[in-house]
Structure 1
Amino acid sequence: MRLSVLCLLVAVVAIFAPSVRADIYRAVAADGSVMLTNVYREGRNYVRVRREAATRSAPSSKRQTAARARPFVELVMAAAVEHDLPEALLHAVIQAESNYNPMALSKSGAAGLMQLMPATARELGVDDVWDPESNIRGGARYLKRLLGMFDNDLSLALAAYNAGPTAVINRGKVIPPYAETLRYVPKVIEHYQRLQAGEPATLL
């Protein structure tokens, strides 16, 4: 993983839990893949790379203004409340996945605002992936599930959203060394960081 990507992840991995203290740890897997996390797990060869005394972020009113000055704001707000997720995080995922195009379709068949794969959409109970409300609610439900699966480790949850949870689990719960995933995780976190700081990220 390039140094710039590592630096970005170190700088922002703790922002998902703004009210708690969080040290940042780095672990390198046998295949060379790197994980940066605020979740310490016993039995791992972790190196603490940063001690975080407290997360400094913009006032909540400024963050809310940044997140809400975007498309589909009411639908995102409702899904965020329903699944206890930050609005800014859902906006960051939508921006990275589809750039707010509800008709986006990837070569692999992922569809809609949050780019749900057909099997995932069916499993989540999303009947119409092209309907913005259904797609956002399904994507939020899936993201919340992944955060629970990976102990609220945002970087791993995002890697699983992009590459699938099996790819993350099979590598010992580290970000798999796929070029797309290594770009995707810091990209989403950067968008999320900007919104948390009250700086609306520019649409692609």
Structure 2
Amino acid sequence: MTRALLPALALAAPLAALMAPAAAAPATPAASAETGKEETVEQALCRLIEGAAKARGLPVAFLTRLIWRESSFRPGVVSRAGAQGVAQFMPGTAQERGLSDPFDPEQAIPAAAHLLIDLRGRFGNLGLAAAAYNGGPGRVSSWLAGTGGLPAETRTYVAAITGRSAEDWAAAAKAEPRTDLTEPEGTRCLQVTASLRIRGRTESFFADAAAALAPWGVQLAGNFSKSIALASFGRARDRYAAILGDVRPMIIGTRLRNRGTRAFYRIRVPSETRAGAEALCGRIRGIGGACIVLKT
């Protein structure tokens, strides 16, 4: 994920405005990351996860593992099946849940937490909620009723996120008293992601999403106000419509630690390669536009 990446060179005023508030930009991207002045994307996502978990009464580790399993914390990912964003909402589910932009983590993560709580209420525990999040509520209902099966992918998903099998959770839903996931007080998202990075502790996220990753981005807008940043991007997209088409941007909001607790929002066009991002930015600059290529 993107770390605190700001312009590496002295840039013209329009380009500097894409990156950070006036007089706030460090000299180089490396300096920004090394001094820790800015929240990383992983830290920003963990902040959102912890906030959503607290608001909905979910274990932090459970929600962290689920979001990690879905997208490896990549806000711009799209699976071949069409699932979108860091929480991998299908468009139909997003519409049903009132989620206007699945690619916006500030919307998607709370929406995922809300959905999981509703699924827990329907099925009785978080293990079956995770199964329904992955495989769909209808499929889980059929499996529990003995009229359908549960895919191997969903079984693996449940075990990876909860540490118990789907069969264990089905039995737990029938038992009295019912049991559910618990965790030690003070569990932090970043601690969980650190353990997930250890080789062998988790598989990489699903292969059908791998081809759609966007490790590079062309930044076109940035502001402390998400709405202003998105409006600026919208104008840029209209201005460069012949180049950008109907592209869906990545929205990255991180805190600048020396600027208080407000997030700074960066709006980027995703690209799978640096060369592709540089080519796109070059075309925009070629018609008088401003942009910068950054790694995510």
Q: TM-score, normalised by structure 2?
A: 0.41
* Aligned twin of 2:278: none
For 1:23-71, what per-residue CA distance to the aligned partner results, in whole angstroms no more than 9, with x for missing partners? xxxxxxxxxxxxxxxxxxxxxxxxxxxxxxxxxxxxxxxxxxxxxx855
TM alignment of 1:101-112, pairs within 5 A? 101-112=74-85
Secondary structure (helix, strand or coil) at the match of 1:116 reads: coil
Unaligned runs of 5+ in 1: 1-68
Same amino acid, percent of matched pairs: 36
For 1:95-130, what per-residue CA distance to the aligned partner results, in whole angstroms no more than 9, with x for missing partners? 110000001111111111111111111111110111
Contact 1:105 1:111 (C-alpha < 8 Å) held by counterparts: yes
For 1:114-153, what per-residue CA distance to the aligned partner results, in whole angstroms no more than 9, with x for missing partners? 111111111111101110110101111111111111112x
* Aligned twin of 2:62: 89
2:128 to 156, 179, 197: 156
1:81 CA drift (Å)? 2.1
TM alignment of 1:75-154, pairs within 5 A? 75-152=48-125, 154=126
The reply to whether residue 201 of structure 1 matches residue 201 of structure 2 is: no
Larger-gyration structure (1/2): 2
Unaligned runs of 5+ in 2: 1-41, 164-180, 198-203, 205-296
Secondary structure (helix, strand or coil) at the match of 1:187 reads: helix
1:74 CA drift (Å)? 1.6
Secondary structure (helix, strand or coil) at the match of 1:72 reads: helix
Aligned length: 135
Secondary structure (helix, strand or coil) at the match of 1:201 reads: helix
AA in 2 matched with 1:147: R
Q: TM-score, normalised by structure 1?
A: 0.58
